[in-house]
């Protein structure tokens, strides 16, 4: 599996966070509230006015959304990029991304859900780590999010995080060390057969999803299994699925020789745990902790 090739500078007070809408459109009022909360935690926000574009279920045409992301990567004043929301559409813009610009201007992309495709693309193509974490909507405009957003800000400033796993349930115990990789399950499956197909050999894989029925999750896991994605896993982190899904998972994680944790609040959660994509991590059932390298230099 590819090791981390790029490290990123941490953010400082007053740094610019670029806002991008690579997928679906969003509510303007909630957007403005989110921008205010970025400022409250010590950063500034930059965005283009055409970010409010709409084209059906997309935040404007593919080339608009791709151009927006290209310009944020190219802008030397923008230190990180935060997705406004997920939904659908990120896969459509990958052919229009400027690889030279991205390679020469590495930055942290923050988000989850549909951002999974972009994050796995950035890792596979450029060795560029990203952050499976909050998005502007809903997390930066949610009520009672102040303490959580301060923790996010501390991470972006370079603070080392240790993730306690007490909120999860160990389905298999043990120790594991490997590259942390993953995202939204349906989007992970969507990488199969593409140039940025997820590589899980020697990795600690994490996945979650929302709104899916047990048979649909079973189908996606079966697809991953048939593609050989569980054979060489070091460990597995599963998000917050309803209890009936446990029966589905137990038919698959037996292939994993290391620890398996179920029920961690990341991705589609009210205060999602921050999980960097493309960094080395260690997972230990005895200490009940996930420890990972910070993607910042």
* Backbone angles phi and psi of 216, in degrees to 5: -70, -40
* The two structure tokens encoding residue 143: 């009520």
Nearest to 20 by CA among 46, 2, 38: 46
Percent composition of the chain: helix, strand, coil (DSSP 3-state, to 5):
35, 25, 45
Structural contact between residues 17 and 40, judged by C-beta atoms closer than 8 angstroms: no
Rounded Cα distance between 179 and 74, Å, is 28
Catalytic positions, written as ranges: 113, 208, 268
Structural contact between residues 295 and 278, judged by C-beta atoms closer than 8 angstroms: yes
DSSP of 42-70: T-EEE--GGGG--BTTBSS-HHHHHHHHH
Q: Kindly give, in sequence order, each residue whose CB lies less than 8 Å from that of residue 56, ignoring residues fewer than 6 positions away.
A: none
* The two structure tokens encoding residue 96: 């229009």
Rounded Cα distance between 177 and 171, Å, is 17
């Amino acid at each position: 599996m590819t090791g981390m090739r790029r490290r990123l500078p941490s953010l400082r007070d007053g740094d610019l966070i670029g806002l991008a809408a690579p997928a679906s459109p969003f509510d303007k009022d909630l957007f403005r509230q989110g921008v205010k909360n970025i400022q409250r935690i010590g950063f500034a926000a930059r965005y283009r006015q055409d970010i409010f574009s709409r084209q059906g279920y997309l935040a404007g045409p593919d080339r608009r959304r791709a151009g927006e992301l290209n310009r944020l990567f190219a802008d030397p004043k923008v230190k990180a990029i935060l997705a406004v929301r997920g939904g659908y559409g990120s896969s459509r813009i990958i052919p229009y991304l400027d690889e030279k610009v991205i390679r020469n201007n590495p930055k942290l992309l923050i988000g989850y859900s549909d951002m999974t495709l972009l994050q796995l693309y950035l890792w596979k193509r450029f060795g560029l780590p990203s952050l499976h974490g909050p998005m502007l909507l809903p997390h930066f405009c949610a009520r009672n999010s102040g303490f959580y957003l301060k923790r996010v800000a501390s991470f972006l400033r370079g603070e080392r995080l240790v993730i306690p796993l007490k909120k999860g349930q160990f389905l298999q115990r043990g120790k594991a060390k490997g590259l942390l990789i993953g995202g939204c399950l349906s989007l992970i499956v969507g990488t199969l057969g593409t140039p940025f197909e997820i590589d899980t050999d020697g990795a600690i894989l994490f996945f979650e999803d929302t709104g899916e029925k047990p048979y649909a999750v079973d189908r996606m896991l079966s697809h991953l299994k048939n593609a050989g994605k569980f054979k060489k896993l070091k460990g597995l982190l599963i998000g917050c699925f309803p209890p009936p899904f446990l029966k589905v998972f137990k038919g698959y994680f037996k292939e994993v020789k290391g620890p398996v944790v179920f029920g961690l609040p990341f991705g589609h959660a009210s205060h999602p745990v921050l999980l960097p994509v493309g960094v080395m991590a260690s997972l230990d059932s005895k200490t009940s902790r996930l420890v990972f390298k910070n993607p910042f230099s």
